[in-house]
Amino acid sequence: MEIAQIVGLGLVATIFLLIIRQEKPVLAVVLSLAFVTVIFLFVIDKLSTIVGVITELSHRAEANYFFLGTVLKILGVAYLAEFGAAICRDSGEVAVAKKVEFGAKIIIAVLALPIMIAILESLMEIMPR
Amino acid sequence: MNTEIIFTIAGIGILISILGIVLKQAQKEEQAQMLTLAGVVVVLILVVQLLSQLFTVVRTVFNL
């Protein structure tokens, strides 16, 4: 019944946020940051198990680990960027949130570049001259 | 699950807002401002430790 813990903690945090936001909006932002972090640290064990299983499956299928590693890196970058951007947007700083997302997009594009090159190279091998 | 930090931050927030109201009623605006600043710094120190933990965990899980 871990979902009950998460939902309960979320409701309690919402009530606290509503009370604190009236007087001190800065502390409300910090509290929501702490809540998000606590929830993520709570589920990260399971996420790590899932990632381990996927890695094991790719090893068993003898797939190239480089591609899976890139996909996992992109997942991590996307998660962190979403985390930061959501906090910024919650506090009303939409411009900052947009820039965080923009930076994440650029970093993801750079990470995905080797995969694109690999696809193009295999395409050139298949295509008749 | 270390939920204490959420309740710690919520408690500090409520305490500081009440103390701020009291100080404002007593015509001590500067002290109220300083109290807010101190509270934000204390809470920020707590959260930054948690955030560094989060970043370390994300880095190890996703091999960033």
Question: Which of A62, A90, A105 corresponds to the end of one domain?
Answer: A62
First to last CA, chain B: 24
Is there a single domain that holds both residue A71 and residue A111? yes
Is there a single domain that holds both residue A58 and residue A70? no
Q: For residue B12, what pLDDT is reported?
A: 92
Is there a single domain that holds both residue A11 and residue A38? yes
Is there a single domain that holds both residue A75 and residue A58? no
Q: Is A20 on the interface with B (CB under 8 A)?
A: yes
Cβ A28 vs Cβ A20: under 8 Å: yes
Q: For residue A127, what pLDDT is reported?
A: 85
| Sign, Cα dihedral of A79, B9, A5, A17 | negative
- A35 closest CA partner among B30, B36, B46, B37: B46
Inter-chain CB proximity A24 and B17 less than 8 Å: yes
Domain that holds residue A14: 1-62
* Distance of alpha carbon A54 from alpha carbon A30, whole angstroms: 34
Q: How many domains does chain A have?
A: 2
Cβ A101 vs Cβ A81: under 8 Å: yes
Is there a single domain that holds both residue A68 and residue A128? yes
Distance from CA of A92 to the nearest CA of B (A): 18
* Distance of alpha carbon A114 from alpha carbon A17, whole angstroms: 44
Region A116-126 average pLDDT: 91
Is there a single domain that holds both residue A55 and residue A71? no
What pTM did the predictor assign?
0.84
Is there a single domain that holds both residue A45 and residue A68? no
pLDDT tens readout for residues A31-50: 999 999 999 888 988 999 99
Is there a single domain that holds both residue A27 and residue A43? yes
Is there a single domain that holds both residue A119 and residue A70? yes
Q: What is the interface size between A and B, counted as CB pairs within 8 Å?
A: 105
Is there a single domain that holds both residue A69 and residue A128? yes
Inter-chain CB proximity A20 and B13 less than 8 Å: yes
Question: Which of A62, A91, A108 corresponds to the end of one domain?
Answer: A62
Q: Is residue B31's pLDDT more than 70?
A: yes
* Distance of alpha carbon B64 from alpha carbon B50, whole angstroms: 19
Q: Is A49 on the interface with B (CB under 8 A)?
A: no
Q: Is residue B1's pLDDT more than 80?
A: no
Distance from CA of A129 to the nearest CA of B (A): 39
Q: For residue A63, what pLDDT is reported?
A: 79
Inter-chain CB proximity B64 and A20 less than 8 Å: no
Is there a single domain that holds both residue A70 and residue A17? no
pLDDT tens readout for residues B15-25: 999 999 999 99
On average, the pLDDT of chain B sits at 90
Is there a single domain that holds both residue A3 and residue A36? yes
Question: Crossing angle of helices A94-126/A65-90, nearest 10°?
Answer: 160
Q: Is B25 on the interface with A (CB under 8 A)?
A: no
pLDDT tens readout for residues A65-106: 888 889 999 999 999 999 999 999 998 899 999 999 999 999
